[in-house]
């Protein structure tokens, strides 16, 4: 089995060979490592994208807004992802962001996952009927196959999930009260032997 480190290095070099800068290639290498770690078809989609990339034109977006539509030429998922990651702290102010017409959208996903870590919020993403939840770049929950290749998607949307507890205040109080049984009551005998006890000030 090929190691994650080798996946990172090889896909980074392949990206550079396709004409991307070393900086962008570094990001792609990290992304492929993460996708394969999470069981998503990263290398498979990247390989297919690079097969057609030299003979296609792709829209390169710089400033991302709430609604992003490319009428004729699909967005390049790599350039889109790099700019999303750079702008995610500003973009999180929007409840929902929509993209229309993206080539190989699976390659955009790891950028979103890393963005989730940057802002400290979960991100929910939909590629038509396919759903993903990104958890601070630690896990990705999805309902897709690890063999999935999507060459183009007309509709992709993502929303930022506000942080909240999965339990009620009463449930927390109950569990906290139970934990109090392990607390050690401070007694005079303990105070006498604690750090600094018995020291005198001769100044």
Helix (H) or strand (E) holding 142: strand 139-142
What is the pTM for the complete model shown? 0.85
What is the CB neighbour count within 10 angstroms for residue 39? 11
Phi (first) and psi of residue 103, to 5 degrees: -80, 140
> Would the CA dihedral through 105, 107, 83, 92 be positive or negative?
positive
Report CA dihedral (89, 91, 95, 100) to the nearest 10 degrees: -140
Token digits of residue 3: 């190691």
β-pairing, 139-142 vs 96-100, is: unpaired
Sequential pLDDT tens for the chain (203 residues):
999 999 999 999 999 999 999 999 999 999 999 999 999 999 999 999 999 999 999 999 999 999 999 989 999 999 999 999 999 999 999 989 999 999 999 999 999 999 999 999 999 999 988 999 999 999 998 988 778 899 999 999 999 999 999 999 999 999 999 999 999 865 665 556 655 555 555 55
Token digits of residue 71: 């009428």
């Amino acid at each position: 089995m090929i190691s994650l480190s080798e996946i990172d290095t090889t896909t980074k070099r392949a990206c550079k060979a396709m004409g991307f800068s070393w900086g962008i290639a570094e990001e792609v290498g990290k992304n492929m490592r993460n996708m394969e770690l999470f069981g998503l078809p990263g290398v498979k989609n990247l390989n297919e994208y690079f097969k057609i990339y030299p003979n296609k034109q792709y829209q390169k977006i710089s400033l991302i807004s709430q609604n992003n539509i490319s009428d004729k030429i699909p967005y390049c998922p790599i350039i889109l992802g790099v700019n999303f990651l750079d702008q995610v702290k500003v973009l999180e102010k929007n409840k929902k962001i929509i993209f229309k017409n993206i080539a190989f959208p699976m390659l955009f996903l790891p950028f979103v996952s890393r963005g989730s870590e940057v802002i400290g919020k979960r991100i929910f993403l939909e590629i038509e009927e396919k759903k993903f939840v990104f958890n601070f770049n630690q896990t990705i929950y999805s309902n897709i196959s690890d063999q999935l290749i999507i060459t183009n998607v007309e509709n992709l949307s993502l929303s930022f999930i506000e942080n909240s507890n999965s339990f009620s205040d009463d449930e927390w109080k109950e569990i906290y009260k139970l934990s109090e049984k392990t607390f050690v009551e401070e007694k005079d005998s303990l105070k006498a032997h604690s750090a600094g006890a018995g020291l005198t000030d001769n100044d």
